[in-house]
Structure 1
């Protein structure tokens, strides 16, 4: 794979520490510590240079297992000499070596096998793709009647970034019991963390000059220590006594969703694009701050490329093939990740790899990114805790295109406690959470508490004291609705959790919102002031043009019997709540009401980012398109249409200010409901539909997407147990026979999934109410301890 001779190519994961020692720890530290602004001070407890610290640790003691290890567990292991930081990092590398292989197989014509193929390098060896395939006729029916675009059948293709790397393209399915997850796109291992500077082009500075032909940028790049080298530096300086008050993230391995820049790893938004230098010259601000607090920036996580994809502004380019299937979260460079609880099923996206890596203990914590559901989906499908703060608390700068008001960085961890430690660590001791690179961080000071966020956490000793007594939680019934049989089990499960845990055990008072599609619960009082009341007061005063919207037949979308909703009289009466409002205007649909045409959003943000990155080849979006491959043909068409836009003609976009204005009004409506009803937080199931199979059909909306991103409100997701009940949908041709649609017939039998799959509960509140949410979420977590690791990805035989 490494035509330039990867110096680590012939060493397995467990021998890399030995190799580092052979190179000379003293030489390695002297060469790399200045890059991290750490002085070379040998620790009293450091192992001699000629020995491998991992071989000496724990003699006479139980070995430390990183599986399900918390940040506190890792710190305790280091302080009690049960593990060094190098041991910890090596353990995660070993797990990536064991579990980060390919977990999908291609869907082809008549199960035609493909030739042996090799992918990107993971822990010194290329990924190996399965040659067996699945017959397309076992995935979709009636193909002989299909008259749509040619199917995008599965195949292997050579990447444009590296001719030695191939990747699956087109239709694919998850391999049952694969034992592999493909969660991490790139590991921070010297020689494989960059394509531009791969192999010997990333040799440690202590080994001498770079080989002939090495790009000039590689000399500066190789000064960056990799994950093991950083761990060795920390061990050498601090030994078993790190200053945890100063370095709360000490030796915590972090996986980062690829859109966030890392100055020591490839950053291309998971896309197969041929940058002149595929590693950016800077870190995203939150990554920089985590490094400063002692974190090991361990890997870039697999994700759906460009978060939710580039979209399509319209234009002459159209898709020429049809990718059938739902739930793909894959990219042209890193492929598809799989759910660790059932590798046939989706992990949700777009931050799929971030979720899978933490769930399967391939990293301690992860950074995700959410525009609609991209963090909360992977959290719920992988049994994790998630913190998404008020927009502007966590800096979002240094990301590929994700700089808009609805985008946020999220923190995924196995527990609320760990996620909160990360949140506190992101705070700069001088500037707080403000970041000059991110205008959204210029938020009001009272929105951030003076005390650390960890000070608001509850633990198990608080559970029996009814810690939520005096708090009022509102069940958002709009997302308990059960339009299909598949929604029932998970909706009922969260309803039961709210009543038995939040109310009966923890002492909270429950109220519920009203939805005509959900039966009124006699055990839970209704809101006295409803969302309809708030919308009635706000919409006619500030956005009355919504009532001008019509369907395809010209009928008003929000008609009310006995009223002309476009009339002045109706608007005045509605504003005083003396006229009814359409039941179709719901809190769950507010983001959709802001669906203005937004011609420049994607291209503008990409060009803005690329100007700062300063790559010699990829200078703007048009250059990106010329040097890239896209995950499916519809993405290719959209990307090309973005490149064709005439900036001079399209510079004005009503959507940007229109969406932001409507966002403020929507948040105002939610806050009015909270104040009128004395609500501390809202509660609902993050998801009410079981996970579909990769590339398979899906019926029903899974998440209540867009509410907290659209309103910039904080949310926390917590594991709430498991569900095994499913009604499997199927593909069927549409009436025109031009495409396949997902169908769930009323007589579909109930079955059980192979393994129970995680279910999660979601809490959200007003801006700056993170302390309230942390109290609620941590109390619920302490009372239930629902998190359980995926059984197929347990401890390795030689964990440290």
Structure 2
């Protein structure tokens, strides 16, 4: 009996995909989900120490040798000992989904252990932090294994307008694991690249504007930028308290939701989280494969049209959403998008000076005590710290006054009003929407240490859709949606404050039908060969 064309179609699709997959030997633990790892550990066929050892070996093989991604800035010297202790306590401990699962942290997140917290700067290498950040306390309480720290755009990309994302004086230049001469985007570049390369199960990134969404999209993974105040910022090297947040980065919506469930909640060390316990929940409850059905989703064409590959993937995503029962409103206008840049930058400059000085006061064992000290350090170590670009943002911030200045107060009020109530909220209400949709970014740009990044969030001429939600302090989720020339392309969903459950439901419903994720091949360049030593 001859098989029907319908039966042959899946086989043909698999064969067509085979050349891309063939270069990637089986790495079941490298690509395993949290749920799959827990099943193996519960069955006794895997333990946390073995898992940690395999990830550490993979970091040595891929990150420190072979493709040399430079995504991991430091591994935890106590990782195997901590993993063994978790294994010993497994049978007698009430376990959550992250118990025994390795997690990498962006290197601007304090750990009160032997690892450093430097924001990528040599100026902060004198001594470790004295205490875990609030979210790290939650991770350890949940039994997660802190495997190490990831490289980042130094100072979370707030030192120069001409910086290369993923570069730091301490860690060097992070590479995109899909195509190595392409940029991983910033500033959570290392977190995005490490998860994409299978160096860890999940990682934590931070965002002020685009620093979770862009590296997640550029590295073909899921990133959740939470509502401001859902996740504690205590013990995190800051840019600006009115926009900073940490969030999960993972290869699937399910893993990102599980990680968010652990790190969300109130923390007395961060007053912005006062309402968090009233909204934090088990976000895995919203993993509905039919999550698109009946959802009203508005397409923000103002944030599209800049990059043809991203636009093509967006159209494919819209078609899939319609086919799965979503109600697409197209186009939807978000007011004031062009008016956010000026007040946002004013706010960031003022708040950075105030917030970095306050953070440095919590690190008494460092030689640098103020932003002025950091500026002086960079000048004294310019060969290591400023080989290609300067520190004009540092210097502009240093010139700002206190947070009582009317210019700052007015800029903050304007930015929040235009982005939130008169921007995102107005668009949602006018069209009775559950969420807004746009391309996350275009395919990853070429890393350029001379001219810096070739893409800026919020600039309609080059793409990037993170700015409205970032300025408003509202949540956004990016999910893989397709590929262009071997490079991942994502879509971003954003919505009202505390709308994480809705966004996760939509993102999961899309992911389950799009099935867009593919492992990286570590190509030298677009159309090139995998680098020697690639897995």
What is the TM-score of this pair, normalised by structure 1?
0.57
Question: Contact 2:266–2:277 (CA<8 Å) still a contact in 1?
Answer: no
Q: Secondary structure of 1:404's partner?
A: coil
- Name the counterpart of 2:282: 452
2:84 aligns with 232
1:704 alignment counterpart: 465
For the pair 1:298 / 2:154, whether they are aligned, the reply is no
User: Bigger relative contact order, structure 1 or 2, given CA contacts below 8 A and separation 6+?
Assistant: 2
Distance 2:376 2:160 in 1: 17
Corresponding residue of 2:521: 791
Report the Cα distance in structure 2 between the residues aligned to 1:343 and 1:311, rounded to whole angstroms.
23
Q: Find 1:618's aligned residue among 365, 368, 376.
A: 368
1:625-662 Cα offsets, whole Å, 9 max, x none, are 4445333475346546766x5x8x65643344223312
- Pairwise CA RMSD of aligned residues? 2.8
Alpha-carbon distance change, 613 to 654 in structure 1, aligned in 2, over 3 angstroms: same
1:368 touches 1:374 (CA, 8 Å); kept in 2?
Answer: yes
Match for residue 665 of structure 1?
Answer: 417
Q: 1:182 aligns with which of 55, 62, 70?
A: 70
* Equivalent of residue 76 in structure 1, options 35, 39, 60: 39
State the shift of 1:496 in Å. 2.1
Q: Deviations over 1:74-117 (max 9, x none)?
A: 11121222222110000000001101127xxxxxxxxxxxxxxx
Give unmatched runs, 5+ long, in structure 2.
1-25, 456-460, 524-529
Q: Which runs of 4+ in 1 moved over 6 A?
A: none
* Residue 789 of structure 1, CA deviation: 0.9
Aligned to 1:88: 51
1:596 maps to 346
**1:64 Cα deviation from its structure 2 partner:** 8.2
Tell me which residue corresponds to 1:512: 330
Which residue in 1 is equivalent to 2:19? none
Q: Distance in 2 between matches of 1:696 and 1:180?
A: 21
Q: CA deviation at 1:349?
A: 1.0
What is the DSSP-based 3-state SS (H/G/I as helix, E as strand, rest coil) of the residue aligned with 1:307? helix
Name the CA distance, whole Å, in 2 between partners of 1:641 and 1:657.
18
SS at 1:300's partner residue?
strand
Check 1:383–1:705 CA distance in 2 against 1; reply closer, same or farther (3 A cut): same
CA contact (8 A) 1:254 1:295 kept: yes
User: Does the CA-based 8 Å contact 2:138-2:262 persist in structure 1?
Assistant: yes
* Alignment match, 1:281: 130
Does the C-alpha gap of structure 1 residues 454 and 401 become closer, same or farther in structure 2, counting only changes over 3 Å? same
Give the whole-Å Cα distance in 2 for the aligned partners of 1:185 and 1:641: 28
Q: In the alignment, is the contact (CA less than 8 A) between 1:387 and 1:715 conserved in 2?
A: yes
Residues 236 and 761 from structure 1, CA distance in 2 versus in 1: closer, same or farther, beyond 3 angstroms? same
* 1:654 corresponding residue in structure 2: 406
Greater helix share, 1 or 2?
2
Deviations 1:344-378 (A, max 9, x none): 11111111101000000111111111111111111
Task: Give the structure 2 partner of residue 356 of structure 1.
Answer: 193
Compared CA separation, residues 348 and 531, structure 1 to 2 (3 A): closer
Quick check: which has more Rg, 1 or 2? 1
Q: Give unpaired runs (5+ residues) of structure 1.
A: 1-62, 103-177, 190-225, 313-322, 428-432, 514-526, 533-585, 725-755
Query: Which of 104, 118, 122 is the equivalent residue of 1:268?
Result: 118
Q: How far off its partner does 1:673 sit? A: 2.3
Scaled by the length of structure 2, the TM-score of the pair is 0.84
- Please report how far the alpha carbon of residue 531 of structure 1 lies from its aligned counterpart in structure 2 after TM superposition: 4.2
Aligned residues: 487
Partner-residue secondary structure (3-state), 1:346: coil
Q: Distance in 2 between matches of 1:228 and 1:673?
A: 50
* CA distance in structure 2 between the aligned counterparts of 1:346 and 1:412, rounded to whole angstroms: 17
Give the one of 244, 265, 269 matched to 1:407.
Answer: 244
